[in-house]
Amino acid sequence: MESKDKQRRDIERFIQKMPSLSTTVAKVMEICSRTDTSPNELNKVISLDPVLTGQVLKLINSAYYSLNSKVTSLTRAITMLGMNTVKNMALSTAIIRNVAGSKKSKALPTTKFWAHSISTGVSAKLLGMVKGLPAIEREELFLAGLLHDLGKVPFGDEYFEVLQAVKREQLPLIEMEREMMGIDHQEVGRMIAEKWNLNEVITATISRHHELNDDDPAREQIAYVELGNIYTNIFDFGFAGDPFPQEERIGVLLDRVGLSLGDFGAIGQTVEGEIHKAQIFLQL
């Protein structure tokens, strides 16, 4: 395996070359972060981008929302979906598109990697639903879960060796990354999140979803995403290289968000259907 310094330099170089998010997506994020924004303002920005317009209409008319009649007006779609959902959709599809255009380590097959990511987002969102969180916070949990493993994208073929060692030693992936590469996917994820100016909550969950700290301002969101990640690994939805999750952390994380072990298991009845519906995010 290459030296740790060289691997870090390769990863940093790769991130520098990753395309930035489009100006439309940046503008959508900026508009949605203001409290006084109207759907009309968002409509103006999105309508200038035919790809994004098509994606919003495709999403509102997809099985994910199961509406009775077809929506053809962008303003109506934005009003019905809610601005936060449109922002999250714009962001997630832009990121998935950017990542698809970058090289991806052959160690993690793309389809299985995104299946794992979607399942983590869905599981985190469903746990938020059990807790009774408002829709705006649940959508953010979905996006945070969808993007939590972004830091694995720049890893090259040396990642094969890391994954083999994980299987052999039966240790958590993050420990093996640090030992063999001197850098882990949380740190790499933070670099990407900073490059793209992702918001504080999304950046926090990407860069700290394996180590909850009680002083962390985003500790609850991190706990939901880590629970979603562990749930996904236990039940083998997709694959992101971590077959030995830290199951002993479940109790601590459930305490943090005020849920029980029964609540954790209860999402199993709906999780598969929701994962299937959420696949639309990969087809936009």
Q: How would DSSP label each residue in 224-271?
A: HHHHHHHHHHHTT-S--S-SS--GGGHHHHHHHHT--HHHHHHTHHHH
Same domain (yes/no): 130, 194 = yes
In angstroms, the CA 122 to CA 119 distance is 5
The predicted-structure confidence for 205-239, as pLDDT tens digits, reads as follows 999 999 888 899 999 999 999 999 999 999 889 99
What does the block give as tokens for 97? 């598109």
pLDDT digits (tens, 9 = 90+) for 21-48: 888 888 888 887 787 888 888 889 989 9
**Dihedral of CA 237/238/239/240: which sign?**
negative
Q: What is the CATH number of the domain that holds 273?
A: 1.10.3210.10
More confident: 87 or 176: 176
Three-class SS state of 196: coil
237 lies in which domain range? Answer: 1-18+105-284
Lowest average pLDDT, out of 18-22, 139-143, 176-180, 280-284, goes to 280-284
Determine the distance from the C-alpha atom of residue 21 to the mean position of all C-alpha atoms in its chain, rounded to a whole number. 16
Query: Do 129 and 81 sit in the same domain of this protein?
Result: no
In the chain, % of residues over pLDDT 90: 40
Cβ partners under 8 Å of residue 163, min gap 6: 107, 173, 241
Same domain, 72 and 187: no
For residues 274 and 164, membership in a common domain is answered with yes
Say if residue 8 is in the same domain as residue 29.
no
Do 148 and 250 fall into the same domain? yes
Q: How many domains does the chain have?
A: 2
Rounded to the nearest 5°, which phi and psi values hold at 78? -65, -40
How confident is the model over 115-122, as a mean pLDDT?
93
Please check whether residues 252 and 265 belong to one and the same domain.
yes
Record the tokens describing residue 239, joined without a space. Answer: 């694959």
User: What is the DSSP code (8-state) at residue 177?
Assistant: H
Q: Which of 250, 215, 218, 212 is nearest to 231 (CA)?
A: 250
The full 3-state SS of 202-226, as one line of letters, equals HHHHHHHCCCCCCCCCCHHHHHHHH
Are 86 and 224 part of one and the same domain?
Answer: no
Task: State pTM to two decimals.
Answer: 0.88
Same domain, 112 and 246: yes
- Summarize the chain as % helix, strand, coil (round to 5): 70, 0, 30
